[in-house]
Structure 1
Amino acid sequence: MDVTVKTHDGNISATALGAAVHGLQPFLHDAVVTLHAPSFVISPANGQLTDGADGFYHGDSRALSRLAVAASNAVLAPVAGGLQGADRADFRAVLRGLGEMTEDPVVALHRRRTVTSGRLEETFTVSNAGARPVRLRLTVQAATDLAPMEKVKAGHLLDHIPPQAVADGLLWSRDRFAVRLHSTPSPDTLDAAAGQLSYDIELAPGQSQAVLLTCTAAHADGDQFPAPPTAQVPWSVPVLRSADRRFDRWLQQSVADLDRLRLTDPLSGDNAGARADQFLAAGAPWYLTLFGRDAIWAARMLLPLGTDLAAGTLRTLARRQGTIVDPATEEQPGKIPHEARRTTQQFSDTLVLPPLYYGTVDATPLWITLLHDAWRWGLPAGDVEQLLPHAESALAWMREQSAADGDGFLKYVDQTGRGLANQGWKDHDDSIRHRDGRLAEPPIALCEVQAYAYEAAIGGAALLRAFDRPGAEVWEEWAEQLADRFRERFWVQDALGPYPAVALDRDGRPVDSVTSGFGHLLGTGLLNHEESALLAARLTDPDLDSGHGLRTLSSASGGFNPYGYHTGSIWPHDTAIAVHGLVRAGFPQAAASLASGLLDASAHFDARLPELFAGHSAEAGARPAPYPASCRPQAWAAASSVLVLQAALGLDADVPGGTVTVAPTFAHEYGPLTVTGLRVAADPLEVTVAADGAASTVAPEGMTVVIDQS
C-alpha cells in the first residue's frame, strides 16, 4: 500500500518501510550500520544515503544526510550489499543499458565503505566486463542537515545546510561542527549549490576506474568521549569452536561489534601516556555515548574476558558519581549517573534531559556489584581499594533512598517533570503496568531493583570485610531485612501460582503483571530455592517464553503488544540475564531452553542481535520480526553472547580464594566445543567440553580448577 510521506524533497509516494515520516522515529530494521564509535553510518542495503535516519554521524550529530550515486544513461540496479565487519560494508550494483550485447549486464559499480572515528571513506569503482568501450557520467550528490541526534530520533526533518565549494570537494559548518567532503581524483564538475560532484568516465573493455570520497567531521571542542587506539582492546578476544556454528558466529560478530563500541573517558589518563579508561557506548544510532546501566551490564557480562573494561567503566562512572543534591539533574550524593551527552537533549516538550542526567534507580547498586564481581575475577587489589570510597558512597545512597519513605525499598519518581517517568531498565512511559493494563503510579519500587540492592549489599559487605573496612555485618543484616520485606510485600498469586509483582506502586500495592523481571531476581540471593523454582517454571511458560527469548510482558497481560518497547518485545540481554540467573539458581534445563531460542534468533539476525525485537511466538513464524527502530549493534545485546557462553560452561571465578569453577550445564548441546581467549586474573583460560559433557581446562598456574560434572 502506498503512503504519502514528507521528505526533504516535498511530498512523495513511498512504499519503503524506512521512508521518513515527519514526527515519527525512523525505522532501522533493514539498515546496514557500519560503526567505529563515536562515528557510524546508516544506509539501506543498496548503500545509498537518502532518507529517514540515513547518514554519516559523528558525536551525536549528523555529518551527512545524503550521499547518493547515479550514472547517466543507465539504470543503477543494486544486486548485493551488507557488512564486511563492524566498520566496513560493500555494495554492488549493475549499470543496466551500458555496453550490453546480450541480456547479461557488463558494467558494474562496487561501492566500498570504511568508517573510523570522525572519518568516512567511500570508494566507487566502475568496471567494464563487456566487449566494447563505454562512456558515462558518474554523479554523486551530497547534502546534510547537521541535525543533532535527538532531532533525527524524533523524526524531525530539518532543512539542508548550503555547502561551500573548497578544493576538490565541499564544506558544511554550523555551531562549531564542521564537515568536509574531499574527492580523489578531483571531480570533473563541482556544482556546490546542488551538492554534486560529477566524473566523466571512459572505460575500454576490461578496464575499471575508482573515485574515493573522504568525509571528515569534527566538533571544534573535540569529542566528548574519544575513540581509543584500535590496538588497545580492554579484553581478550575469545574464539569458540563448537558443533553449532551459529554460536561461533554469534560470538565472533558480537565481539567485533563490541570492539567498535569502545569509547574513552577524557578525564582519565595523563600526559605521560597512561592509557585512558575505556567503556562501551550503549548502542548505535540513538545511544552512542555513556549510559551508566548499559555500560555496567555490558562490562559485567564480559568479565570472563578480563577485568580491564570493568575497571575503566567503574572509574569513568565514579568520576561522575553524584556529590550534591540537584533536583534539575536528579543528582544525589553517591548516585551513579544515567547518561552523559554533549548537550541538553530535547526529545519533546515533556522529555528534556540535561547533559549529565542521574535519572536511574538501578545504576548505583549495579555499580557496586560490578566492582565486587570484577574483584572476584581478578581486578588487582590496588584498583579495588582505590574505588572503595565510591562503593561506600553508593551503599550510603542505597540506605538513604530505601529509608526515605519508611518502607525500606529502593524506588524512583521523576523529580523534574521533564525527565524519565520510569527509571529502571524498562524506562518507557508505559512499561510498568498492572495485569489489567493500568499504568502504575509513582513512586515505584521495581522487583529487580530490590534484587540488585540485595546483591550489592552482600557484595559490598564482602569487599568491606576483605579490605578491613567497617560495616560488613551491617550490610549483611540490611540485605536480609530487605529479603524479608520483599517476601512479605511483593509476592502475589494468579491461576498458575505465586510470583513476585513487577513493582509496588505509589500506595505500596503490588503491580501484579507477569514480566521478564523474574529472570533478574534469580541467582542474586534474594530468593530461596523454592521461590526460585516457581520462577524457573514461569519463565519457561509460553506466555513469557516466545521461543526466541523472553517477552518483557506476559502475552496474557493487559496492554501486551509484541511491538511494545517494554510491553511485549524481546530484549536479548534480558533473556541472557535470565539464562545466567537460572544456572546460578540451579535450573540449567530451563536456562538451556531460553538459550536455544536466543541462539536461533541470532542466526535470523545475521549474528548481530538487535537491542530488541518483536515478541511474536516462534510458532507464528520461524523468523523473529524486528522492532523497526531498534539499535543494532547494541552493547548489552552483543555482550549477551559471552554471558550465555559463561552460563553454558557454568564458569565462575574466585581469584581472592584461588579457585576457578567449571560446571558445564548445557554446553554439551553445542559440543564438542573448545573456547580460548578467556581470562582469569589477566591470565589465559581454555575450556573444552566433549560431546558427552566432560570438561577439561588449561588454567593459570596457581589457580585451583574445580570441575563440577554433577
Structure 2
Amino acid sequence: MQPLLHDLVSVVHAPASALGGADGQLRPTGAQGLFHADYRVISEAVLRVDGREPVAVAHSLTGPGAAVFVGLLPWLGDLSPDPTVRVERRRRLTADGMTEHVTFANTSHEPVTLGLTIDLACDLAAIETVKSGGLTAPVAVHLDGDHPVWRQGGLAVGVAAPDARVDAADTTVQLSWAITVESGSTTEVSWAATVSDPRAVLIEPAGPVEWERPELVADDRRLTRLLEQSLDDLESLRLAEAGTPEDVFLGAGVPWYLTLFGRDSLWAARMLLPLGTELAAGTLRTLARRQGRALDPRSGEAPGKILHELRRHEFHVALDGEELSLPPAYYGTVDATTLWISLLHDAWRWGLAEDVVEELLPTLEAALTWLDEYADPDRDGFLEYLDTSGLGLANQGWKDSGDAVRFADGRLAEAPIALAEVQAYACQAATNAAALLDAFGRPAADKWRTYAVELSKRFRSAFWVDGPRGAYPAMALDRAKRPVDALTSNIGHLLGTGMLTAEESARVAELLASPELAGGYGLRTMSDRDGGYNPLSYHCGSIWAHDTAIAVTGLAAEGHADAVAVLTEGLLIAAEAVGYRLPELHGGDARTDLRRPTPYPAACQPQAWSAASAVAIVHAASGLRPDVPGGQITLRPLAGAPLGGFTVRGLRVAGRRVSVTVGRDGSASLTGTPSALTILP
C-alpha cells in the first residue's frame, strides 16, 4: 500500500525534502526520511537522550525550508510539576541536504548532564519504490576520515557532526555527545547530511525568488495567514533543469511529485501571474524545450504536445493491483498543451516582454498543430484521450486516477474520454492564440477564433444534460459519445473560458454553490448525491484547494460574488484547521457532520497549486485584470466585498509594483500603475 502522509511534517527546499513525525524523528518506516531528487538519502534519523526519546510537545514551520520540534526531558532537572529541561530540534533544508541544530535549555536549579545520540541509516530507495510501499536494503556505510559516507551509483551522502563521537557499523551510524547544560543556560550541537548527486535532472535555481512577496492586510486574518504560509511553501518548491538553472518552475508537490509536471506547473505559474511574469517565462521555456516532436504511443508523445511529467529514470509504481510504468519523459496529458498556450497569453497580458513572447511563438504554433491534428483522433470535434500502451495513465485530465470518470449511478466510463473542462481549455486557448497571432503578425488567427466559436456550439449540444436537478454540463463524453452525467467540480473550470453564455454561467454558479458540491470545506470533486461519491475518494468526492480556487477565479470573472463567498469560506476554514498549509486535497465530508476537514491520508503537502490558490483567491477578490499590450487595466472587484475589505501591496503589472485596496462596501482603488496604462472601472 502507498504510505500514509497525513500525520507527517514535511520540510522542503527543492530538490530536497524531509518527512518525519510531529516529534521530529525520521523513522525507518513508510514515507519518512530525507529525500533528494527522487531518492531517499537518509532513511532514519532518530534522536535519543539518555537512551530515551524526548516527550514531544510542539512543532512549527519557521519559514521556507525550516521547522522546529520541541520536546521535554522530564527525567532531568528539578522535581517539579513544571518541566525544567527541554530540547529543540531546528531543522533546515538546503538544496543539497539538511542541517539540524539541537539545543538543550535548562531552567532547573542545578547543572544537568546528559547523553545525546542520533542514529542514522540510508537506503537510497527510489521515490517510486517508497510510494509503492516497497522495501530497499540499507546501503553500507564507509568512513572518509571521521565522516560517514554512503555511496551508490554516483550518488553520495555524507554526514558531518562537529564534536560528536562517530560509530559506524555495516549500514548504520550513531552520533553521540556527552553534554552538560548549566543552570539557566543553553547548549547546542549540530549535524548535517550533504548530498552529491551529479546525475540529478533537476536542481536548485540559480538566482533569488522570481516573484514579489506581497503584503496583505485583510479584515479576514485567515486570508493573510494563508497567503503568508503559501508564499513560504511556493518559495521552497522552486526548481530548474540541470542545464538551464535560470529557467525556474514549481515542482508539483512533496513527496511524490517534486518534479516538473506540465499541468501542475502551468496552473501554479498562471495563478502567480499577479506577482510577476518571470516564473511564467521559466515554466514556458522549460516546457517548450521538451515539446513533443514525434509520435510515440509508449510515452504519449506527439508533435507539438506539452510534457506531463519528467523523471530521472522510468517511474514504475504498483498499487492496489494496478501497474504504472512511465518513461522518464512522459506526455500522457490531454490538457497541458492548451494550458501552455493560455499561460503564454495571460503572461503577455500581465506584461511579459514582447521579445520573450516572440521567442516562444514557434512553440505556440506547434501546440496549435497538436490541437488541430492530434488532439481529436476520431475527428468528432472534441479533444479526447486513450492510453494505448496499457502502462500509462488511464485518465489523462487533472483527475487522473483510474476510477475518476463515473456516471451519476457510479458506473465507470470507458475510454476514449472527452472531458468537459478540456474542451473549455481548448476554447480559451484558441481565442488566446488568435489574439497572440494577430498581435505579432502571424497567420491563422481567424481560423482559431472560428474554432472556439464552433467548439462552444458543439459542447452546448453534446455535453448539457437534464435531470431531476435540472440542466448542467456532464463531466465528459465516453467511448460511445454518451454524456457522463455525474455532477462534478469539472464544471467550475468552464467559467471564464468563453465556453458558456451568461445564462449557462449563472446555472453553473448556482450548482457550484449548492450543498451537494459546496457542503464541505471547499468544492467537492463530485456531488454527494452521485453514485460514485466517497468523501475520501481521490477524485470522486474529496476537495482540492486548486480546484476550488479555479472555480472561484471563474466565478469572480463572471461576477458571481455569492458563490465565491461560499466556496472561499469553506477553504479558509480548512486552511485554519491545518495551520494554513493547504494539502493536495482533503476529505469531502459535510461541515454539518464534522467541525474540521478529514485529512486525505496520502495527500502531498506542500503542493504547488494548493499553495498558489491563496494568490488566486486574493487576485480574484481584487478584480485586477491588466491588458498591458492594450494599454489598459481593469479594476472590478466583487460586488459587496464578500471576502471583506483588504489592501494588498506588491502585486506586479508590467514589472511595476502596484497596490489594490478593496473597501468593505466593494469600492476599490489602485496605486502605482504604470503611466502608460489607462485604468478602467
TM-score (norm 1): 0.93
Find out whether 1:664 has 2:640 as its counterpart.
no
Q: Write the letter of the residue equivalent to 2:510.
A: A
Q: Which deviations, in whole Å up to 9, do the C-alpha atoms of 1:175-216 show, x marking residues without a partner?
A: 221111111113275556642122222334334332211101
Mapped contact 2:19–2:33 kept (Cα < 8 A): yes
Find out whether 1:297 has 2:267 as its counterpart.
yes
What is the CA distance between 1:674 and its match in structure 2? 1.0
* Residue number in structure 2 paired with 1:8: none
Find out whether 1:109 has 2:79 as its counterpart.
no
Q: Write the letter of the residue equivalent to 1:96.
A: P
Find out whether 1:354 has 2:327 as its counterpart.
yes
* Residue number in structure 2 paired with 1:237: 213
Within-5 A mapping of 1:400-439: 400-439=373-412
Question: How many angstroms apart in 2 are the aligned matches of 1:539 and 1:193?
Answer: 54
* Residue number in structure 2 paired with 1:28: 5
Q: Write the letter of the residue equivalent to 2:155.
A: F
What is the CA distance between 1:52 and its match in structure 2? 1.6
What is the CA distance between 1:566 and its match in structure 2? 0.4
Q: Write the letter of the residue equivalent to 2:205.
A: P
Find out whether 1:586 has 2:559 as its counterpart.
yes
Question: How many angstroms apart in 2 are the aligned matches of 1:100 and 1:556?
Answer: 59
What is the CA distance between 1:143 and its match in structure 2? 0.8
When residues 195 and 474 of structure 1 are mapped into structure 2, their CA distance, relative to the original with a 3 A threshold, is same
What is the CA distance between 1:651 and its match in structure 2? 1.4
Unpaired segments of 5 or more residues in structure 1?
Answer: 1-23, 270-275
* Residue number in structure 1 paired with 2:527: 554
When residues 584 and 73 of structure 1 are mapped into structure 2, their CA distance, relative to the original with a 3 A threshold, is closer
Question: How many angstroms apart in 1 are the aligned matches of 2:403 and 2:53?
Answer: 47
Q: Write the letter of the residue equivalent to 1:576.
A: A
What is the CA distance between 1:110 and its match in structure 2? 1.5
For residue 602 of structure 1, the aligned residue among 572, 575, 580 is 575
* Residue number in structure 1 paired with 2:17: 40
Mapped contact 1:169–1:190 kept (Cα < 8 A): no
When residues 236 and 193 of structure 1 are mapped into structure 2, their CA distance, relative to the original with a 3 A threshold, is closer
Mapped contact 2:476–2:484 kept (Cα < 8 A): yes
Question: How many angstroms apart in 2 are the aligned matches of 1:253 and 1:440?
Answer: 39
For residue 119 of structure 1, the aligned residue among 77, 94, 97 is 97
Please provide the CA RMSD for this pair.
1.6
Mapped contact 1:667–1:689 kept (Cα < 8 A): no
What is the CA distance between 1:423 and its match in structure 2? 0.2
Mapped contact 2:397–2:422 kept (Cα < 8 A): yes
Mapped contact 1:73–1:97 kept (Cα < 8 A): no
Mapped contact 2:51–2:117 kept (Cα < 8 A): no
Find out whether 1:286 has 2:286 as its counterpart.
no
What is the CA distance between 1:157 and its match in structure 2? 2.4
When residues 54 and 74 of structure 1 are mapped into structure 2, their CA distance, relative to the original with a 3 A threshold, is closer
What is the CA distance between 1:168 and its match in structure 2? 3.3
For residue 142 of structure 1, the aligned residue among 104, 120, 123 is 120
Find out whether 1:130 has 2:108 as its counterpart.
yes
Q: Write the letter of the residue equivalent to 2:76.
A: L
Within-5 A mapping of 1:170-569: 170-187=148-165, 194-221=172-199, 223-229=200-206, 232-268=208-244, 276-348=246-318, 350-569=323-542
Question: How many angstroms apart in 1 are the aligned matches of 2:457 and 2:463?
Answer: 10
Question: How many angstroms apart in 2 are the aligned matches of 1:600 and 1:648?
Answer: 17
SS in 2 for 1:156: coil
What is the CA distance between 1:130 and its match in structure 2? 2.0
What is the CA distance between 1:340 and its match in structure 2? 0.4
SS in 1 for 2:4: coil
Mapped contact 1:58–1:218 kept (Cα < 8 A): no
* Residue number in structure 2 paired with 1:11: none
Greater than 6 Å deviation, 4+ residue runs: none
What is the CA distance between 1:397 and its match in structure 2? 0.6
When residues 74 and 302 of structure 1 are mapped into structure 2, their CA distance, relative to the original with a 3 A threshold, is closer
Mapped contact 1:34–1:88 kept (Cα < 8 A): yes
SS in 1 for 2:196: strand
TM-score (norm 2): 0.97
Q: Write the letter of the residue equivalent to 2:370.
A: W
When residues 447 and 672 of structure 1 are mapped into structure 2, their CA distance, relative to the original with a 3 A threshold, is closer
* Residue number in structure 1 paired with 2:609: 636
What is the CA distance between 1:500 and its match in structure 2? 1.1
Question: How many angstroms apart in 1 are the aligned matches of 2:24 and 2:660?
Answer: 41
Mapped contact 2:520–2:588 kept (Cα < 8 A): no
What is the CA distance between 1:700 and its match in structure 2? 2.4
Mapped contact 1:492–1:510 kept (Cα < 8 A): yes
When residues 323 and 623 of structure 1 are mapped into structure 2, their CA distance, relative to the original with a 3 A threshold, is same
Q: Which 10-residue stretch deviates more, 613-622 or 69-78?
A: 69-78
Mapped contact 1:168–1:183 kept (Cα < 8 A): no
* Residue number in structure 2 paired with 1:4: none
Mapped contact 2:297–2:388 kept (Cα < 8 A): yes
Mapped contact 1:536–1:587 kept (Cα < 8 A): yes
Mapped contact 1:490–1:510 kept (Cα < 8 A): yes
When residues 82 and 463 of structure 1 are mapped into structure 2, their CA distance, relative to the original with a 3 A threshold, is same
SS in 2 for 1:692: coil
Question: How many angstroms apart in 1 are the aligned matches of 2:458 and 2:2?
Answer: 41
Within-5 A mapping of 1:569-584: 569-584=542-557
Question: How many angstroms apart in 2 are the aligned matches of 1:298 and 1:633?
Answer: 13
Question: How many angstroms apart in 1 are the aligned matches of 2:643 and 2:381?
Answer: 44
Question: How many angstroms apart in 1 are the aligned matches of 2:49 and 2:168?
Answer: 16
Question: How many angstroms apart in 1 are the aligned matches of 2:641 and 2:376?
Answer: 47
Q: Which deviations, in whole Å up to 9, do the C-alpha atoms of 1:422-468 show, x marking residues without a partner?
A: 00000000000111111111000000000000000010011111111
* Residue number in structure 2 paired with 1:13: none
SS in 2 for 1:458: helix
Q: Write the letter of the residue equivalent to 1:258.
A: L
State the identity %.
49
Question: How many angstroms apart in 2 are the aligned matches of 1:42 and 1:227?
Answer: 19
What is the CA distance between 1:582 and its match in structure 2? 1.1
What is the CA distance between 1:499 and its match in structure 2? 1.0
Question: How many angstroms apart in 1 are the aligned matches of 2:135 and 2:171?
Answer: 20
Mapped contact 1:282–1:290 kept (Cα < 8 A): yes
Question: How many angstroms apart in 1 are the aligned matches of 2:195 and 2:375?
Answer: 46
What is the CA distance between 1:138 and its match in structure 2? 1.3
Mapped contact 1:659–1:704 kept (Cα < 8 A): yes
Question: How many angstroms apart in 2 are the aligned matches of 1:243 and 1:533?
Answer: 28
Question: How many angstroms apart in 2 are the aligned matches of 1:239 and 1:388?
Answer: 35
* Residue number in structure 2 paired with 1:56: 34
* Residue number in structure 1 paired with 2:665: 692
Question: How many angstroms apart in 2 are the aligned matches of 1:32 and 1:236?
Answer: 27
Q: Which 10-residue stretch deviates more, 233-242 or 71-80?
A: 71-80
Question: How many angstroms apart in 2 are the aligned matches of 1:649 and 1:321?
Answer: 35
Q: Write the letter of the residue equivalent to 1:98.
A: L
SS in 2 for 1:364: helix
* Residue number in structure 2 paired with 1:79: 57
Question: How many angstroms apart in 2 are the aligned matches of 1:305 and 1:142?
Answer: 41
* Residue number in structure 1 paired with 2:655: 682
Q: Write the letter of the residue equivalent to 2:30.
A: G
What is the CA distance between 1:132 and its match in structure 2? 2.6
Question: How many angstroms apart in 2 are the aligned matches of 1:484 and 1:524?
Answer: 14
What is the CA distance between 1:136 and its match in structure 2? 2.3
